[in-house]
A and B are shown apart, each in its own frame.
Chain A
Amino acid sequence: MTQVSERLVGNSFRPGYRFQRYWDTSMALAFFFAEVGTGLFVVSLYLDLVPGMILGLALAATLKPYFHLAHMGVPKKSWRAIARPDRSWVSRGAIAVGVLVATGVLHILAQTVGLGLPPEVVNVIRYAALAAGLVVMCYQGFAMAASEAFALWASPLLPVASFLYATTAGVLLASIVCPLAGHGPAALPQGLVGVLLAADFAVVGSILVAARRKSKGGAFSVELLLKGRYARGFVGGALGVGLVLPFVAVIAGGDALALRIGAALAMLAGFFAFRLLMLRAAVYEPITYDLAASIGLPARS
């Protein structure tokens, strides 16, 4: 630990690792609610589970923007976020969220009160909502992956993780909403949750392996997550509570609703820990390592 903290240099004028705190709790909450809500919406869309759609869309359309705006430096100008979809995943995501909310609401209305729209139009709306939902499920991963700054983030696995986590949360929540809303058990393949949890685990592991290989900064971040100051939250929370525990619960408990609820809550808690700690463990790397080669400096390990 001493060694780790010595390599973190805070705001001093020494080369070493610096934490990023530009994206922090608010952003983690925004990501979390976007992915959980959209995951639930998309799964519910597949299942035609209107209460799931409503709940999912509500999360994605209220809490996600709320926390995102809370994060923004200039909230009143945030509409500008849509200006550069040609290059920015944040722009693309913002647009996707807008489309998702608009089409999602239309779709839900069409499904419930009925808007008198021709079925082809409803279908278009449905597919538009699905497409937007899929984008929202992944874009935050893309937004993080676009940052070459952090080896922990700069990986194509990040959007995969986003998508998988969102799907897992969606499936777990849908399988709870379904019976609670009186729809009976969700029409989902047996074992899907287990497979998804295993896939989440695999992709998280792959992210760590890739980060560790990619650079010293990546290895440092992984060290922070697995052994350092974030180990308890990451190993215990994100992996243990978030993935292993629900996996065991689902495998052992089958379809018992209480167990499912417990598994879902654990998974969500772990998911949030994953979201937050992925932000917190990202470190800027000192430029020294690279200069070392050119100016004959041995790099400080």
Chain B
Amino acid sequence: MAKMGMVFDLKACIGCNACVVACKQENSLPDGVFFTRTLSHDYGEYPTNKRVYIPTICNQCEDAPCEKVCPSGATYTREDGIVMIDNEKCIGCSSCAVACPYDMRTMLSDEMFQKGLFGTGQITPFEEQGYDRYIAGTAAKCDFCSQRVDAGLNPACVSTCPTNARIFGDLDDPNSAPSQAIEKRGGRQPLPEKGTKPKVYYID
């Protein structure tokens, strides 16, 4: 049994958001929806101020609060630890969205799909071939590109990241790239006090 996780290398990340766009194209996300975002955080005072770019994504928590509160059983965890949504079962109650401390869930709406990426009310052939996978009214989120993972590929955001700021692999395998990165450079989970046991770590 694997435990797929991701490490974000804050030293490497240049905040280019190629990951965000790669995700949008891989997953045909409708306008305004992001499964991953890279935040820009300024701190300190001029001229010694600093900026750090902080990638964020669904943390695929081991104690996933979204799964615990899901009344329909739509949210479940795969054997490899990826938290999934069966959108056929999802009733759109949004319980998961308010349970996720990271605001990583999106409730899909009809408007999102009808508006189109260009906001013209018409959808492109790209959107047409991609929107089938979604059901308006249901919840959606990053699933580490689970189908790519099944095919032996990295998630789209990882594979496009110019600086290798996203390191993906099996956290149960001490020799995997993310395990090694954590071992060598520490690693910190987001909001651990929420008790969710994220499978995402930050190193710097």
Contacts and interface: CB of A to CB of B under 8 A. Distances in A.
Direct contact of A and B (CB under 8 A): yes
Interface of A: 11, 13-15, 18, 20, 22-23, 27, 71-75, 77-78, 80-84, 87-91, 94, 143-144, 146-150, 153, 215, 282, 284-288, 290-291, 293-298, 300
A297 B41 contact: yes
A73 B103 contact: no
Contacts of A73: 90-94, 107-109, 136-139
Contacts of B73: 80, 83-84
B2 interface: no
**Secondary structure dominating the interface of B:** loop
Question: Interface residue tally of chain B, by bracket?
Answer: 35 or more
21 contacts: A13-B17, A14-B41, A20-B98, A71-B94, A72-B92, A73-B94, A73-B109, A73-B138, A81-B93, A88-B69, A88-B70, A88-B71, A90-B69, A146-B68, A148-B195, A149-B65, A287-B54, A288-B39, A290-B191, A294-B186, A298-B43
Contacts of A81: 71-72, 91, 93
Contact of B188 (A13, A20, A88, A295): A295
B97 A288 contact: no
A284 B101 contact: yes
Q: Which 5 pairs, one residue from A and one from B, show the smallest C-beta to C-beta distance? A: A73-B92, A73-B137, A294-B188, A90-B71, A80-B72
Nearest to A11: B32
Interface in B56-114: 56, 65, 68-74, 89-95, 97-103, 105, 107-109
Nearest to A72: B92
A90 B92 CA distance: 12
Contacts of A282: 98
